C-alpha cells in the first residue's frame, strides 16, 4: 500500500509500505479520507514537534477508515463500520515509525471495548479509545473533522466553560474555528482574533466579532467592547508573545487556556499583566468522552466540515505535498486528503 512518510525533517514523500495485518482485537480498515492538521502535521514535517519523534514516520492523525476484516476477538467493530483515528502500524522490522499513521491506504482500528471487557491491561487499550464508530448519516468526507471537534469540545468542557461567558479565541486555524463554534453552541458570547481570510467562516459559526490580530489597535478595540474582561481566553496558537498581548483582557478570576504548540518549549506567561488572579487550565482533553456529543451535533447539522474545508474538494494522497503547500500559502484552513477509493 501507499503511505505519506516524513522521511526526515522537511521531506514528505508517498512510498510503498507493507499492508498491515490485524491482530486478535484489531480490525483492518480501508482508509478513505484524512484531514490535515496545520499545527501537529506541520511541526512533524518540519522537525519542530515538541516531543521526541523517530523518522522516517507515517504522518496523519485525522483519518477515517472502513472496516474490511476483523480479528477473532473483535466484537464491537463490524465489517462496513466507519471508524475514526485509524492508522497504519510501524514497520515490524523498525524501518519506519508512525506519527499516528493516518495518511495511508490501509490501517488498523482496535476493539478497546472488548479488550477492557476481557481484562486486558489498560495500558494495552487506553490509547485506542480514539477509535470510535461514526454513526450512519455522517459521510466519510465529513468524518475526519471528528478529531478536531472532539479534542476542542472536551478541552472546553473540562476547563468548565459556562453559558453566558464572554470568550476570546486567539487564532483562526482549524482549532481556533472549532473553539469558536463550540463556545457559541455552549451559550458563550465569542470574539475571535485571527487571519482576515477566516473572517467569513468565523462569522458563519456565530462569533459576535472577528478582528484581524495584525492590527495594532486590536487589543484596545476588544477592551472597549468588553470592559469587564473576558471570562475565558483560549490561545489556539501557542506563539511567544500571544498570551502576554491578550492577558490584560482576561477578567479577574478568569481562565486562560493555552492550546497551541507553536513555541511549546519557549512559551512564557507574565502574570503581572493580568487584572488579578487567574487560572491557567492544564487539564488537556479526552477525545473519546465527547464522541457521542459530536456525533449528535454532526447528525443534526450543527457541525459541518464546510467551515474548515470543502468536503467535495479533496486532494489525492499522491498530491499531499501540494495540499500542505496550499495550507502554508494560506489558501485553506485544512485540506481533505483522499486516501483510497
Query: Per the domain annotation, does 298 fall within a domain?
Result: no
The reply to whether 116 and 101 lie within a common domain is: yes
Query: Per the domain annotation, does 50 fall within a domain?
Result: yes
Query: Per the domain annotation, does 287 fall within a domain?
Result: no
The pLDDT of residue 137 is 96
Burial track 139-176 (b if 16+ CB lie within 10 A, e otherwise): ebbbbbbbbbbbbbbbbbbbbebeeebbbbbbbbbbbb
The reply to whether 23 and 115 lie within a common domain is: yes
The reply to whether 153 and 83 lie within a common domain is: no
54-72 average pLDDT score: 97
The reply to whether 273 and 162 lie within a common domain is: yes
The pLDDT of residue 38 is 84
pLDDT > 90? residue 77: yes
pLDDT in tens, 244-300: 999 999 999 999 999 998 888 788 899 999 999 999 999 999 999 999 999 999 999
What's the domain range around 187? 148-281
The pLDDT of residue 263 is 84
The model's confidence at residue 49, banded by pLDDT at 50, 70 and 90, is confident
The reply to whether 207 and 247 lie within a common domain is: yes
The pLDDT of residue 26 is 98
The reply to whether 277 and 163 lie within a common domain is: yes
pLDDT in tens, 145-197: 999 999 999 999 999 999 999 999 999 999 999 999 999 999 999 999 999 99
Q: Give the separation between CA 1 and CA 161, rounded to whole angstroms.
A: 44
17-35 average pLDDT score: 98
The reply to whether 167 and 209 lie within a common domain is: yes
Q: Give the separation between CA 184 and CA 187, rounded to whole angstroms.
A: 5
The pLDDT of residue 15 is 97
The reply to whether 120 and 100 lie within a common domain is: yes
Instruction: Judge if the upstream peptide bond of residue 56 is cis by omega within 30 degrees of 0.
Output: yes
The reply to whether 253 and 168 lie within a common domain is: yes
Cell 465527547 sits on residue: 290
Query: Per the domain annotation, does 253 fall within a domain?
Result: yes
pLDDT > 90? residue 112: yes
Q: What is the pTM of this model?
A: 0.96
Amino acid at each position: 500500500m501507499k503511505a505519506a512518510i516524513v522521511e526526515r525533517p522537511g521531506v514528505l514523500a508517498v512510498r510503498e509500505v507493507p499492508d498491515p495485518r490485524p491482530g486478535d482485537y484489531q480490525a483492518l480498515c480501508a482508509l478513505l479520507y484524512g484531514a490535515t492538521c496545520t499545527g501537529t502535521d506541520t511541526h512533524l514535517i518540519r522537525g519542530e514537534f515538541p516531543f521526541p519523534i523517530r523518522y522516517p514516520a507515517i504522518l496523519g492523525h485525522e483519518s477515517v477508515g472502513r472496516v474490511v476484516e476483523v480479528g477473532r476477538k473483535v466484537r464491537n467493530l463490524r465489517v462496513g463500520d466507519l471508524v475514526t483515528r485509524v492508522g497504519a502500524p510501524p514497520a515490524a522490522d523498525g524501518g519506519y515509525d508512525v506519527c499516528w499513521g493516518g495518511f495511508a491506504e490501509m490501517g488498523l482500528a482496535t476493539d478497546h471495548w472488548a479488550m477492557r471487557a476481557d481484562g486486558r491491561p489498560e495500558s494495552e487499550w487506553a490509547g485506542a479509545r480514539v477509535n470510535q464508530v461514526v454513526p450512519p448519516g455522517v459521510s466519510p468526507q465529513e468524518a475526519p473533522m471528528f478529531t478536531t471537534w472532539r479534542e476542542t469540545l472536551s478541552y472546553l468542557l473540562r476547563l468548565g466553560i459556562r453559558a453566558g461567558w464572554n470568550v476570546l479565541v486567539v487564532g483562526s486555524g482549524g482549532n481556533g474555528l472549532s473553539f469558536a463554534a463550540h463556545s457559541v453552541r455552549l451559550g458563550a458570547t465569542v470574539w475571535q482574533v485571527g487571519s482576515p481570510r477566516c473572517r467569513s467562516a468565523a462569522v458563519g459559526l456565530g462569533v459576535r466579532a472577528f478582528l484581524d490580530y495584525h492590527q495594532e489597535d486590536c487589543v484596545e478595540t476588544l477592551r472597549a467592547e468588553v470592559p469587564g474582561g473576558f471570562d475565558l481566553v483560549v490561545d489556539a496558537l501557542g506563539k511567544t508573545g500571544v498570551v502576554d498581548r491578550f492577558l490584560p483582557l482576561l477578567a479577574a478570576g478568569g481562565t486562560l487556556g493555552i492550546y497551541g504548540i507553536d513555541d511549546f518549549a519557549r512559551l512564557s506567561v507574565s502574570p503581572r499583566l493580568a487584572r488579578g488572579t487567574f487560572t491557567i487550565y492544564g487539564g488537556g482533553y479526552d477525545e473519546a468522552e465527547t464522541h457521542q456529543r459530536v456525533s449528535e451535533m454532526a447528525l443534526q447539522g450543527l457541525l459541518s466540515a464546510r467551515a474548515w474545508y470543502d468536503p467535495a474538494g479533496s486532494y489525492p494522497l499522491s498530491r499531499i505535498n501540494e495540499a500542505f503547500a496550499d495550507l502554508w500559502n494560506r489558501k485553506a484552513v485544512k485540506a481533505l486528503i483522499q486516501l483510497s477509493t
